[in-house]
Amino acid sequence: MKPSLVVLPGQEYLGEALLELLDMDRVTTTIKEFPDGECYVRIHTSVNQQIVFIAGSLNRPSAKILTLLFLAAKLKELGSRKIVLIAPYLPYMRQDKEFHAGESITSIYFARLLSTYFDHLITLDPHLHRHRSLKDLYQISSDCLHSAPLLADWVRTHVEKPVILGPDSESKQWVKEIAKLANAPYTVLLKQRLADDQVTLTGTDLSDFPDFVPILVDDIISTAGTMTAAVGYLNKRMTKPPICLGIHAVFSNNAYSCLLSKGVSKVITTNSIPHESNGIDISSLLASAIQRYMLGSISKQ
Ligand code: R5P
């Protein structure tokens, strides 16, 4: 049986890449917004007894979630055997505790919501910090992909004498892995967040790396406050301008142009979210995850 693929609006790049890599049936849909802002969803292709994958990054989630849930609900009603969400960027992972009394712990509520509509989740480097695994949050099975080998490949092929740097302790998990795969040294800075877009960094001794190329790595670049503070810190202490490597190019408002103006050599991200900084392709990772799920479903039959 061939897997079927539904692509969320605006994520066609992802759909085309997956259809090129795998033999999948494209499910055609009409998705639009009524004049009053409500969304309209129609599925034109038969999905009865099919395993259906819905692909689309969920950055700016409020604009996408209802469409996604209406799609999943209709696919179920039309007889889909399993419905799998491929969300290369998984939102609502950072509010993972009540930082101030009365705050919604949205990572839990969001996981509960998606778990009622989907059978399985495929995602890339979700922001796991206080929750150590997606299993702590999601009631469905998941496949958590890692971009470290792709980022390390990029470093190996583009940079001579790199040192891999993380802006905060949370980044150590991927910084350490990339450094190992790229055969480079690494270290992490210490971050304190003062406001949504304001952070201060304190540091670490960089005197061992005088003529290295600093590669700053973070999972999410959103306001770019973290990267900007790290770039400022490094520019005062190292001779070469840093390269910023981000996994998820969330980039709010003018964050990207601001970061570019702060003395970075370049900013490179994966295409988990389409953005002009994309330079690392994750589609083969997603295609392998689809194949794994299909093989698992066949062996369970
Ligand atoms: C934080 O815990 C994450 O790993 C990133 O450092 C953070 O989300 C980056 O956000 P911003 O670009 O807004 O500083």
Q: What would the pLDDT profile of 152-162 be if each residue is shown by its tens digit?
A: 999 999 999 99
Mean pLDDT of 32-48: 97
pLDDT at 113: 98
Distance 226 CA to ligand 1 centre (A): 6
* pLDDT one-digit tens code per residue, 124-152: 999 998 898 999 999 999 999 999 999 99
8: alpha, beta or left, given left = phi > 0 and alpha = psi -120 to 50? beta
Please tell me the predicted confidence (pLDDT) of residue 301.
65
* Contact between residue 140 and residue 116 where contact means Cβ atoms under 8 Å apart: no
Residue nearest to atom 7 of ligand 1 (CA): 220
For residues 53 and 7, the answer to whether their CB atoms sit within 8 Å is: no
Ligand 1 mean position to 68 CA, how many Å? 26
Cβ–ligand 1 distance for 182 under 6 Å, the answer: no
The pLDDT, as a whole number, for residue 193 is 81
For residue 293, is pLDDT > 90? yes
125 lines ligand 1 (CB under 6 A): no
First to last CA, the chain: 12
Ligand 1 and 218: CB distance under 6 A: yes
Contacts of residue 7, Cβ cutoff 8 Å, sequence gap at least 6? 14, 15, 26, 54, 55, 56
Determine the distance separating the centroid of ligand 1 and the alpha carbon of 299, expressed in angstroms: 40
Q: In what order do the strands lie in the sheet with 51-55?
A: 25-26, 4-7, 51-55, 82-87, 120-124, 141-145
Q: From ligand 1's centre to the CA of 221, what distance in Å? A: 6
User: Strand 82-87 vs strand 51-55: parallel, antiparallel, or unpaired?
Assistant: parallel
Q: How far is the CA of 170 from the centre of ligand 1 (A)?
A: 10
Say which residues have a Cβ less than 8 Å from residue 45's Cβ, sequence separation at least 6.
4, 25, 26, 27, 28
Judge if the beta carbon of residue 170 lies within 6 A of ligand 1. Answer: yes
Q: Which two tokens stand for residue 7?
A: 């692509």
pLDDT band at 300 (very low <50, low <70, confident <90, very high): confident
Whether residue 64 has pLDDT greater than 80: yes
Whether 219 lines ligand 1, by a CB cut-off of 6 Å, is: yes
CB 96 less than 6 A from any atom of ligand 1: no
Say yes or no: CB of residue 148 within 6 Å of ligand 1: no
Q: What is the pLDDT of residues 269-278, one digit of tens each?
A: 999 999 999 9
Give, using CA atoms, the residue closest to atom 2 of ligand 1.
Answer: 170
> Is the CB of residue 221 below 6 angstroms from any atom belonging to ligand 1?
yes
